[in-house]
Amino acid sequence: NHRNDLAGETVMITAGGTREALDPVRFLGNRSSGKMGYALADAAAKRGAKVILITAPTALRAPANCDVVPVVTTEEMRDAVLGRLAEATIVIKAAAVADYRPVMQAEQKLKRSGPLTIELQPTEDILAEVVRCRHEGMLVIGFAAETENALVHGRDKLLRKGADAIVLNDVSRPGVGFDSDRNAVTFLTQQTAIDFPEMSKRELADRILEEVMALRRPQKVV
Ligand code: PMT
């Protein structure tokens, strides 16, 4: 029972995997189900926060008492995030954002005829833009999905992206990460690394929010 410990906070959460169209019927996507982001949205709303859930397509039912903003592409997610950023006191980026999009989008369904080469260009880094536009008192929490040297890459992402914390997902571990109902993560800040063992994403959501709220309290001087 966390009472209403997030009352007064407006938590913006991104969830799901963005999609980049190749033609009218095909897209480049990823295996994010949205479960982690939706679990965080549900947990934050139950703890009294105002929740803005910016979600790429998922098969999930939206949690109660959340302001749901549906998007499809990385650019749409970026516009939605930046458009509502002024309202947010906490931003949690659980979405798996496409890092590349096709340079050209075919107007008609592509026909099959021999090998096909698709040229890709990088998308905008939404997390970096959020950090650039952050206002006083806003907490910015990223996620990192890694398949090798998770801790090294997670630390690097924390420093490079300038977030207050990174929730590090070693997605090479069986049974956790993408699409699973369960997850195991490391909550990384510049000072600490807190390991959370495998548990349900909904349980983990509350544990993550506890660590986020701990960042609000004055840090102990050592
Ligand atoms: O959705 P589920 O099936 O429940 O799975 C959960 C999850 C594994 C998708 C989730 O927990 C997770 O790890 N999300 C982040 C996945 C990811 O894209 O990680 P990344 O290391 O590529 O990106 C790092 C951070 O930058 C993320 O917060 C991402 O939202 C952000 N990013 C990335 C690229 C980009 N162009 N813009 C961004 O803002």
CATH number at residue 58: 3.40.50.10300
pLDDT of residue 217: 86
Say if residue 93 carries a ligand binding annotation. no
Residue 158 identity? L
| Residue ranges, the chain, pLDDT below 70 | 1, 219-222
Residue in 19, 20, 28, 32 to alter for ligand 1 test, most ligand atoms within 8 A of Cβ: 32
Number of independent structural domains in the chain: 1
Structure tokens at 35: 């479960």
pLDDT of residue 1: 66
Structural domain contains residue 219: no
Q: Report yes or no: 118 and 100 within 8 Å, Cβ to Cβ.
A: no
Q: Quote the domain boundaries for residue 44.
A: 10-98+121-214
pLDDT of residue 204: 98
CA 108 to ligand 1 centroid distance, Å: 31
Structural domain contains residue 108: no
Secondary structure of 210-222 in HEC code, one letter for each residue: HHHHHCCCCCCCC
Catalytic residues: 30
State the Cα–Cα distance between residues 56 and 69, nearest whole angstrom: 9
Name the pTM for this structure: 0.96
State the Cα–Cα distance between residues 19 and 200, nearest whole angstrom: 26
Structural domain contains residue 103: no
Say if residue 220 carries a ligand binding annotation. no
Instruction: Give φ, ψ of 36 to 5 degrees.
Output: -65, -45
Query: What ipTM describes this predicted complex?
Result: 0.96
pLDDT tens digit sequence for 21-69 = 999 999 999 999 999 999 999 999 999 999 999 999 999 999 999 999 9
Ligand 1 residue neighbourhood (C-beta within 6 Å): 32-36, 74, 93-97, 99, 123, 125-127, 142-145, 157, 169, 171, 177-179
Structural domain contains residue 152: yes
